[in-house]
């Protein structure tokens, strides 16, 4: 895979001509001149493999460029870079590993694959001396992978907070702004083309968890398997929670959160209350934003379109350009796909959710009767959970009413144990809703004790 | 400058141990282990030149590391990378060019130098085959240079909007939030350490103009000299303007603005009214944020600390890491300092301010008397300036009152010509205040005609 200086041109083979693949073809064809001016050599899209070569894709491809045979492309010695955009696990992984074995560099947007089989793929790239680009796997067009591996490489990173799934953020934004329920907004998102027919991966947090696993690898130099990321979605959120959050000055976002503690890492995706004035709380619609904290740089936030054909393709092509710049100089492997050198990574324990501490929003559904608050507060107190504020609405003696408690920083295990007790109390009519709060340490609300 | 594979270690010489230099030394010493794990080789700070070697800088340096002789450092054959942090023009330029002639790579944070002598310095880097890193010259720790040269390299960039000076943004934020006047807040900024004794470069827009010139070079592949950037500061803004802006739903920010039009580029720094809901309007205090628009990626915003010892040093060290990764592979010049290949750049005309179009905020100081609005509106109409909305405050017959007009998109020349006429009208008591508006094309306020 060391390039030939006599022929610095770079030939690209693309597998998968779906939404992102079409965007990649479009950019490589339409911006070819611009790219050549930047790189100093041309990047030629020579072959595209897709199972459906009849479909009209609104781009004009030269005749003969399309094939149904991915293997022919993978074994074509004239191809330098293989772009894998078929998604999924088995076939995609086979294509990538075959490409490496053929001495070809690989660019992919496949976050699910990297979150599950990342270690095997990263190691194959390093072993074969090939480059692997996956800027498009997180944050669409936002250059967040490069930020972690290069721009912020001087920093010990301490945390990552990210809105990394556009569909769920679109739904949460409409629920926040319009006061509508989850199911209603989900249907609206589907008809607007912002949610897929099966939205499970987006609304249950799986997609965000894939992306978080990839970022943790780069930020902290440790492998994390998707199974180790605590993942909770947004389907159980009620309009009540949005109204109460607002009343306390918070906005609900589905966040991917990672924190580095000495020998451990927190890795969790869940709906989170953020102070409404914080930068992430203001990210609306299908936009993504990722907030990193480093020991030298402090806070940095990256914001942009997290999905879509051209934004994601922008990231794919940036990786191809990177490889072309390497090939022109006859090198590869400048920056390892693990950011840290393979032998210099350190396995860190992923801290189970029970062991974290956080501030909590607890919404109890209780019978409106004197003494209920004191009973619940008593159980919380026994478990050393300190209350920051309380909101009790409605005044209909004997009816079910919501009672909201915001806690100071407490242990998750203590909170879960206390809720087990509280949920069994006869005056508690429904399972208590627990939401975690981030970024409110400085809020006056959370500082004073009530 | 092609590295020796037998000795991949990288030796750094630092010239200038001020605020940023101290931060660089601190990161290189304290994060040495982290950096070596990422790069695969160690980066050794071997020599520091500063005129004042007695000063206590709160870092522990090995004995003998400090010297007053920059030339000894520049001619030390063991040094691979020279970090120039003395600032200013003549000496800094001489150090950088000497380093290149000695086959050394250079990292600098000197935006003033690059905005004035960039072409000479960029060309010297390319001619000698050395790398030049200047991530720290714009946006402190925000990796904006890499975003333009690498992460977004697949895009035709169409515009740049940036809050690129922390001091002026700190002042504007306090003026907005506290309703205080410029002079009062400037004094507060000085005592808080956010403004220098001579704040001219910050509050008159010069510093932002330097940074904008650097970004234009990378984004559009054309050289722009600082003299061609239209520059207006914030010292003339009155508390009245902040109050009116807020009433119309706008926030005043000092923006660096660049727009690409076919064969021309707009390049201007001036106080700007932004819709209060836009991402840049919400950037407060000493933070910087840069909003880029590309044809594939759409809108991307980068946010972080734009100044300070460690954030700026984070960017300096990221450049050193980049050079170390190149040296380890025995290459340099992967990405030219001009982003575009030197021979592939195209001189674009910098559009003079008179030739731009914009929406305008015009604050007239007039005698409160019937017919005044109609007279002013008449002159605007004669110059084909269409009014979007009008705000007239106070009702004290015969007294001086402010009259604010927001215009639809108009030609700057027409507006300036109309103001020449209006400013000479006897009912107009003071020179009219003109502020440009950005990002309001979609605002309902600016759409309907009153």
Question: Which residues, in sequence order, are CB contacts of B264 under 8 Å at separation 6+?
Answer: B348, B349, B350, B351
Query: And the tokens for B329?
Result: 């592979």
Residue A133 main-chain phi, psi, to 5 deg: -105, 130
Q: Which of A3, A36, A38, A107 to mutate to test the interface with B (most CBs of B within 10 A)?
A: A38
Half-sphere exposure of residue A256: CA atoms within 13 angstroms, side-chain side: 32
Instruction: Report A:56-75 residues touching B (Cβ under 8 A).
Output: none
Q: Would you give the DSSP letter of residue B148?
A: I
Q: Can you tell me the distance from the alpha carbon of A88 to that of A85, in angstroms, rounded to the nearest whole number?
A: 9
Instruction: Report A:327-346 residues touching B (Cβ under 8 A).
Output: 328-331, 333-336, 339-341, 344-345
Pairing of β A230-231 and β A264-275: parallel
Beta bridge partners of A108: A84
Instruction: Give CA separation, B34 vs A22, A346, B436, B448, in Å.
Output: 40, 11, 46, 57
Query: Directed axis angle between helix B111-128 and helix B90-101, to 10°?
Result: 20
Q: What per-residue string of b and e applies to B306-315 under the rule 16 or more CB within 10 Å gives b?
A: bbbbbbbbbb
Q: Can you tell me the distance from the alpha carbon of B270 to that of B76, in angstroms, rounded to the nearest whole number?
A: 44
Q: What per-residue string of b and e applies to A211-235 under the rule 16 or more CB within 10 Å gives b?
A: bbbbbbbbbbbbbbebebbbbbbbb
In 3D space, the residue among A128, A338, A3, A344 whose CA is nearest the CA of residue B331 turns out to be A3
Residue A72 main-chain phi, psi, to 5 deg: -60, -45
Binned at pLDDT 50, 70 and 90, residue A1 comes out as: very low
Q: Can you tell me the distance from the alpha carbon of B55 to that of A392, in angstroms, rounded to the nearest whole number?
A: 60
In 3D space, the residue among B142, B97, B126, B91 whose CA is nearest the CA of residue B112 turns out to be B91
Residue B300 has its nearest CB partner, among A31, A303, A339, at: A303
pLDDT value, residue B446: 55
In 3D space, the residue among A291, A157, A146 whose CA is nearest the CA of residue B37 turns out to be A157
Q: Can you tell me the distance from the alpha carbon of A224 to that of A347, in angstroms, rounded to the nearest whole number?
A: 9
Known catalytic residues of B are 211
Residue A304 has its nearest CB partner, among B297, B329, B344, at: B297
Contact A311 B296 (CB under 8 A): yes
pLDDT value, residue A57: 78
Given CB atoms, is B312 within the 8 Å cutoff of chain A?
Answer: no
Q: Report, as an integer, the average pLDDT of A426-430.
A: 96
Contact A339 B294 (CB under 8 A): no
Instruction: Give CA separation, B107 vs A300, A355, B1, B18, in Å.
Output: 22, 44, 15, 15
Instruction: Give CA separation, B160 vs A264, B280, B294, B437, in Å.
Output: 40, 12, 9, 15
Rg (CA), chain B: 24
Q: Which chain A residues are Cβ-neighbours of B153 within 8 angstroms?
A: 35, 38-39, 317-318, 321
Residue A298 has its nearest CB partner, among B143, B279, B304, at: B304
Contact B143 A153 (CB under 8 A): no
Query: And the tokens for B267?
Result: 């390049």
- How does pLDDT run across B335-360, given as a tens digit for each residue? 999 999 999 998 999 999 999 999 99
- How does pLDDT run across A155-211, given as a tens digit for each residue? 999 999 999 999 999 999 999 999 999 999 999 999 998 999 999 999 999 999 999
Q: Which of B8, B19, B24, B38 to mutate to test the interface with A (most CBs of A within 10 A)?
A: B38
Chain position carrying tokens 């290189």: B28
- How does pLDDT run across B188-227, given as a tens digit for each residue? 999 998 999 999 999 999 999 999 999 999 999 999 989 9
Q: Can you tell me the distance from the alpha carbon of B71 to that of A8, in angstroms, rounded to the nearest whole number?
A: 39
Q: Would you give the DSSP letter of residue A428?
A: B
Q: How many other β-carbons are positioned within 10 Å of the β-carbon of residue B171?
A: 27
CA of B282 vs chain A CAs: smallest distance (Å): 8
Contact B303 A305 (CB under 8 A): no
Catalytic residue among A93, A211, A305, A327: A211
Given CB atoms, is A295 within the 8 Å cutoff of chain B?
Answer: yes
Beta bridge partners of A132: A106
Binned at pLDDT 50, 70 and 90, residue A266 comes out as: very high
Pairing of β A287-294 and β B410-411: unpaired
- What is the complex's ipTM, to 2 decimals? 0.95
Contact A298 B282 (CB under 8 A): no
End-to-end CA distance of chain A: 65
Q: Report, as an integer, the average pLDDT of A21-45.
A: 97
Given CB atoms, is A285 within the 8 Å cutoff of chain B?
Answer: no
CA of A118 vs chain B CAs: smallest distance (Å): 18
Range list of β-strands (E), B80-188: 81-84, 105-108, 132-133, 157-163
Contact B300, B152 (CB under 8 A): yes
pLDDT value, residue B57: 78
Pairing of β A433-437 and β B10-15: unpaired
Query: And the tokens for B90?
Result: 């003549």
pLDDT value, residue B2: 38
Contact B143 A146 (CB under 8 A): yes
Contact B152 A141 (CB under 8 A): yes
**Mean pLDDT, all residues of chain A:** 94
Contact A40 B221 (CB under 8 A): no
Q: Report, as an integer, the average pLDDT of A88-96.
A: 97
Binned at pLDDT 50, 70 and 90, residue A393 comes out as: confident
Chain position carrying tokens 């920093």: A155
Residue A205 main-chain phi, psi, to 5 deg: 90, -5
Rg (CA), chain A: 24
Contact B154 A322 (CB under 8 A): no
Instruction: Report A:371-430 residues touching B (Cβ under 8 A).
Output: none
In 3D space, the residue among B312, B111, B41, B393 whose CA is nearest the CA of residue A343 turns out to be B41
H-helix or E-strand spanning residue A24: helix A19-30
Q: Can you tell me the distance from the alpha carbon of B102 to that of B80, in angstroms, rounded to the nearest whole number?
A: 9
Contact A337, A122 (CB under 8 A): yes
Task: Please tell me whether residue A410 adopts helix, strand or coil conformation.
Answer: strand
Contact A348, A400 (CB under 8 A): no
Contact B299 A297 (CB under 8 A): no
The length of chain A in residues reads 450
Query: And the tokens for B308?
Result: 């300070």
Q: Can you tell me the distance from the alpha carbon of B369 to that of B372, in angstroms, rounded to the nearest whole number?
A: 6
- How does pLDDT run across A284-310, given as a tens digit for each residue? 999 999 999 999 999 999 999 999 999
Q: Can you tell me the distance from the alpha carbon of B404 to that of B432, in angstroms, rounded to the nearest whole number?
A: 10
Residues of chain B falling short of pLDDT 70: 1-7, 394-395, 442-450
Please report which residue ranges of B179-308 form alpha helices under DSSP H: 182-191, 200-203, 206-220, 239-247
Q: Which chain B residues are Cβ-neighbours of A300 within 8 angstroms?
A: 141-143, 302-305
Pairing of β B250-261 and β B298-305: unpaired
pLDDT value, residue A443: 55
Question: Which residues, in sequence order, are CB contacts of B323 under 8 Å at separation 6+?
Answer: B10, B80, B81, B105, B107, B131, B133, B332
Given CB atoms, is B29 within the 8 Å cutoff of chain A?
Answer: no
Residue A420: pLDDT over 90: yes
Given CB atoms, is A155 within the 8 Å cutoff of chain B?
Answer: yes
Percent of chain A as helix, strand, coil, to the nearest 5 = 40, 25, 35
* Overall pTM surpassing 0.80 (yes/no): yes
């Amino acid at each position: 895979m060391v390039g030939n200086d006599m022929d610095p041109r770079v030939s690209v083979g693309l597998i998968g001509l779906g939404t992102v693949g079409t965007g990649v073809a479009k950019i490589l064809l339409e911006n070819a001149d611009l790219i050549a001016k930047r790189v100093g050599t041309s990047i030629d899209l020579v072959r595209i493999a897709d199972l459906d070569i009849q479909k009209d894709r609104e781009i004009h491809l030269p005749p003969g460029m399309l094939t149904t045979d991915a293997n022919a492309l993978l074994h074509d010695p004239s191809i330098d870079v293989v772009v894998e955009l078929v998604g999924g696990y088995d076939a995609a992984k086979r294509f990538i590993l075959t490409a490496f074995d053929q001495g070809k560099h690989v660019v992919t947007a496949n976050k699910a694959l990297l979150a599950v089989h990342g270690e095997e793929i990263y190691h194959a790239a390093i072993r074969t001396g090939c480059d692997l680009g996956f800027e498009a796997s997180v944050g669409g067009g936002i250059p967040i992978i490069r930020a972690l591996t290069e721009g912020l490489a001087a920093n010990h990173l301490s945390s990552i907070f990210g809105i990394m799934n556009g569909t769920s953020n679109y739904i949460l934004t409409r629920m926040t702004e319009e006061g509508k329920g989850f199911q209603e907004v989900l249907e609206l998102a589907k008809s607007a083309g912002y949610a897929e027919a099966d939205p499970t991966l987006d609304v249950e947090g799986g997609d965000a968890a894939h992306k978080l696993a990839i970022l943790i690898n780069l930020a902290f130099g440790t492998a994390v398997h998707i199974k180790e990321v605590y993942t909770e979605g947004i389907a159980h959120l009620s309009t009540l929670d949005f109204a109460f959050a607002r009343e306390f000055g918070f906005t609900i976002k589905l966040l991917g959160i990672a924190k580095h503690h000495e020998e451990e890492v927190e890795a969790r995706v869940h709906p989170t209350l953020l102070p409404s004035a914080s930068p992430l709380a203001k990210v609306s619609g299908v936009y993504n934003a990722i907030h990193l904290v480093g020991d030298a740089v402090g806070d940095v936030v990256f914001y942009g379109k997290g999905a879509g054909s051209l934004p994601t393709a922008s990231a794919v092509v940036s990786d191809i350009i990177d490889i072309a710049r390497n090939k022109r100089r006859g090198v590869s492997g400048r920056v390892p796909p693990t950011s840290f050198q393979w032998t210099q990574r350190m396995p860190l324990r992923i801290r189970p959710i029970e062991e974290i501490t956080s501030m909590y929003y607890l919404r109890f559904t209780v019978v409106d009767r004197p003494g209920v608050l004191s009973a619940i507060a008593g159980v919380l107190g026994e478990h050393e959970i300190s209350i920051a504020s309380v909101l009790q609405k409605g005044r209909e003696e004997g009816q079910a009413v919501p009672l909201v408690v915001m806690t100071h920083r407490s242990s998750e295990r203590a909170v879960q144990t206390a809720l087990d007790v509280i949920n069994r109390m006869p005056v508690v009519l429904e399972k208590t809703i627990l939401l975690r709060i981030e970024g409110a340490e400085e809020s006056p609300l959370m500082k004073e004790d009530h």
